[in-house]
Amino acid sequence: MDTGDRLLTPGEVAALFRVDPKTVTRWAAAGRIGSIRTPGGHRRFRESEVRALLEGDGVIEEMREDDAANKPRNNGPSHPGPGYGPPNGLR
């Protein structure tokens, strides 16, 4: 099934959207952008679909905002144990 569409790597897509490649992978896992898997299990993205998303009105900003809202915050351990904090019991 050759559609003549070039396949892009997550890094190539990330460069176009100006995001981290892991963000592109999260978008694919969430179904926000279509992807196919190579026989080795790597994700690839159809260039035509990526270009269509880039040309879409506000779609990318919505995807970025959604991604930022769902990003976990690291506030440290909720119950630090005795090994957490300054050394030698200095508090």
Domain borders along the chain are 7-55
- Kindly report the number of other CB atoms within 10 A of residue 16's CB atom: 17
By the 8 A CB rule, do 8 and 47 touch? yes
Count of CB atoms situated within 10 Å of the CB of 28:
19
- Residue 66 corresponds to which tokens in the numbers above? 């959604």
Kindly state the tokens that stand for 46: 């159809």
Which one is predicted more confidently, 20 or 84?
A: 20
Prediction pTM value: 0.62
Q: What is the pLDDT of residues 51-79, one digit of tens each?
A: 999 988 556 666 666 666 666 666 655 66
Say how far apart CA 6 and CA 84 lie, in whole Å: 50
The CATH number of the structural domain formed by 7-55 is: 1.10.1660.10
